[in-house]
């Protein structure tokens, strides 16, 4: 059996599978790309018989015609940074491979041709879990270079850290006057349930039909293919590992919904941002060490000591105040006084901002004694409604562009909609809709 050939396999329990042989990381396992688009692994010792069918199930399609510019349509640049959204199936090998040219994009998503003129550029092709501050800076520089020649930009991004990427670029791009929409795909294009097409087409449609000129995210609003949400860059979190509607607005509501038929409904009043000054990049200091310290039962003080050489910390505690175990109430909790002392030392040295392990809600350190003690220790963030990831990005951005003392003062200033005076919930919006 050779990679790329079509094979019919009969297993020892008399199950029959037909598909294309893919490269396998395990020499004892055959990987098949089935006609359904799904992959299956079959152990060699479970194969009863196999029959080579010689040629692939489907022929490779090629874009042959030249793409013509339509002066009546807006021009959108797709910047590829990675993720499954720009991948397509190769029927020579059955594997999923990236396609980055405008021809590739229109071949995979032909509906885009009627939405906008499509340009395409590869910035990087990596898993989003490997993203570093330097990558945010690289994406920002590409946007600065290209945005004057287009009407909007779509950034393809892996979903694991997509919301952090959108948040980071929202802070970097000062005086942005055109839309930058982050798009991902929870399920790759070789799967029947892929969400890549609708997410990308909805993002292009939103840019083409509106005057929106900020950074945002476009992903499925429900598990069905009815519509996508345009989500706020600094108020969005991935809440599920695999569902197509994994991304939700946190302490906010979606900006708009883009229906499958192309209609767009803004869900709250939107006014185009007017900037007199030109686009300016406020980049990240790539050498900064920003950490996330998470509270948990049976915590020890030496865990906090490990952060002494960091430049800033997000302290994700529990409940309404972002509580940490700092109360010595009996002999079993003597360690908690040491934890309090270490937190106080850390907060006197570097900015430490509180967040909560609760997804929704607002920090309030005035309610219980623990919160008040944390404030006395110098921990910042009282009344913040930022989630942990947004607090992490904002702290890194401030320390990259301000002195430490100024950064502490600016943590609770709203820059890009990351802090809300009034908390909104999607549940309230859904009941009204």
CA 170 to CA 233: how far, in whole Å?
7
How is domain 6-52 classified at the CATH fold level?
SH3 type barrels. (2.30.30)
Q: Any bridge partners for residue 96, and if so which?
A: 89
What residue segments make up the domains of the chain, in order of their start?
A: 6-52, 75-281, 290-410
Distance of CA 2 to the CA centre of its chain: 37
pTM score of the predicted model: 0.84
Contact (CB, 8 A) for 203 and 176: no
Catalytic residues: 84, 159-160, 238
Q: What is the pLDDT of residue 95?
A: 47
Contact (CB, 8 A) for 167 and 397: no
Around 203, how many Cα atoms within 13 Å sit in the side-chain half-sphere? 32
CA 172 to CA 397: how far, in whole Å?
8
pLDDT digits (tens, 9 = 90+) for 176-196: 999 999 999 887 665 656 788
Please provide the DSSP assignment of 112-174 as one string: GGGT-EEEEEE-----GGG--HHHHHHHHHHHHHHGGGSSEEEEE--STTHHHHHHHHHHHEE
Residues listed for the chain: 433
Q: Any bridge partners for residue 88, and if so which?
A: 97
pLDDT digits (tens, 9 = 90+) for 314-361: 999 999 999 999 999 999 999 999 999 999 999 999 999 999 999 999
**What phi-psi label fits residue 115: left (phi over 0), alpha (psi between -120 and 50 degrees) or beta?**
alpha
How many degrees, rounded to 5, is the angle at CA 223 between CA 222 and CA 224? 90
Assign domain 290-410 to a CATH class: alpha beta
At 89 the three-state DSSP class reads strand
pLDDT digits (tens, 9 = 90+) for 136-146: 999 999 999 99
CA 11 to CA 20: how far, in whole Å?
16
Range 75-281 classified under CATH 3.40.50.1170? yes
Is-same-fold flag (6-52; 75-281)?
no
């Amino acid at each position: 059996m050779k990679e790329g050939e079509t094979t019919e396999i009969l297993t020892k329990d008399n199950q029959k599978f037909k598909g294309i042989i893919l490269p396998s990381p395990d020499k004892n396992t055959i990987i098949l790309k089935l006609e359904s688009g799904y992959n299956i692994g079959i152990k060699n010792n479970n194969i009863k018989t196999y029959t080579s069918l010689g040629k692939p199930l489907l022929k490779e399609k090629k874009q042959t015609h030249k793409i013509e510019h339509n002066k009546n349509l807006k021009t959108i640049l797709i910047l590829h940074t990675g993720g499954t959204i720009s991948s397509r199936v190769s029927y020579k090998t059955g594997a999923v491979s990236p396609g980055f040219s405008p021809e590739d994009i229109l071949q995979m998503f032909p509906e885009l041709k009627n939405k906008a003129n499509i340009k395409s550029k590869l910035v990087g092709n990596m898993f989003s879990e490997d993203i570093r501050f330097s990558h945010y800076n690289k994406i920002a520089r590409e946007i600065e270079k290209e945005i004057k020649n287009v009407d909007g930009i779509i950034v393809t991004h892996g979903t694991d850290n997509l919301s952090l990427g959108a948040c980071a670029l929202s802070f970097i791009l000062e005086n942005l006057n055109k839309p930058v929409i982050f798009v991902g795909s929870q399920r790759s294009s070789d799967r029947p349930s892929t969400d890549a097409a609708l997410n990308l087409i909805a993002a292009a449609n939103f840019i083409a039909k509106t005057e929106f000129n900020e950074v945002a995210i476009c992903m499925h609003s429900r598990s069905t293919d009815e519509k996508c949400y345009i989500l706020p860059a600094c108020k969005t979190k991935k809440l599920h590992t695999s569902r197509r509607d994994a991304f939700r607005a946190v302490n906010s509501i979606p900006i708009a919904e883009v229906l499958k038929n192309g209609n767009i409904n803004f869900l709250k009043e939107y006014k185009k941002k007017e900037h007199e000054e030109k686009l300016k990049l406020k980049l990240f200091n790539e050498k900064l060490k920003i950490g996330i310290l998470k509270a948990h039962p049976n915590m020890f003080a030496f865990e906090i000591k490990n952060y002494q050489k960091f430049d800033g910390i997000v302290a994700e505690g529990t409940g309404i105040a972002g509580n940490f175990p700092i109360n010595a109430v009996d002999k079993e909790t003597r360690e908690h006084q040491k934890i309090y002392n270490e937190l106080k030392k850390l907060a006197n040295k570097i900015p430490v901002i509180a967040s909560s392990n609760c997804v929704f809600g607002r920090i309030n350190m005035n309610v219980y004694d623990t919160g008040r003690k944390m404030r006395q220790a110098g921990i910042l963030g009282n009344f913040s409604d930022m989630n942990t990831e947004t607090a992490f990005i904002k702290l890194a951005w401030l320390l990259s562009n301000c002195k430490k003392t100024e950064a502490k003062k600016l943590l609770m200033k709203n820059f890009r909609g990351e802090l809300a005076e009034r908390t909104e919930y999607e549940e309230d919006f859904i009941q009204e809709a």
